[in-house]
Structure formats: structure tokens, C-alpha cells
Amino acid sequence: MNFNTIIQSDVPVLADFSAQWCGPCKAMAPILKQVKDQMGDALRVIKIDIDGNPQAAKQFQIQSVPTLMLFHKGQVIWNSSGVIPAPQLLQVIRAHVPLYQN
């Protein structure tokens, strides 16, 4: 399944644009796992390596990594660059994910 197909989903998708050489990107891995564990099936989390997928990085004008983008039905509904603590990221996602239920 390709990236554009994945982000068209009814399930919101959090895309982590990162690079293997990026230290802060490595710091996001446990944060994203924690977010996924909290959100369960209400959210899909994917990692996009900008070096391996330059077309996706170009399409969404990724200027720095890590950059997080939240998609719903193919639309970007939120994005931010830099490391974001799990509680703050969960708060943002819950504010933007329309079907989130506790």
C-alpha cells in the first residue's frame, strides 16, 4: 500500500517524517509508541524516511525533521516540526481526531 492510499483512510493517520541520521527523530520513536498504545485503533501511525521517500517529503514540503503530520481522509489537519512530548501530542490528536472516544 502506498503513502497516498494510506492517508486517504477514514482512520486518521499520524505520519512521522524522519531520517535515520536525525537524533531528535530517534527520540520520537518511544513517544509515538506511547501515543499509538493510548489511541489504539483510532489512529494509525506511520514513519516516512525522507531519504528513502523523497517524493513524499517534496509533496508535503518537509523542511526539517522530525515533522509530524496528521491526516484525515487525505487532508492535512495538523502538522508540527520538532520533538513533541507524548502528553502534548495526545492532546493535539484528541482535539483533531473526530471519532476519538476514551
Among 25, 50, 93, 97, the active-site one is 25
| Residue 65, CA distances (Å) to 14, 17, 54, 68, 96 in order | 14, 6, 13, 8, 22
Is residue 30 part of the annotated active site? The answer reads no
Is residue 22 part of the annotated active site? The answer reads yes
Among 11, 22, 42, 45, the active-site one is 22
Strands 67-72 and 44-49: unpaired
User: Active-site residue numbers?
Assistant: 22, 25
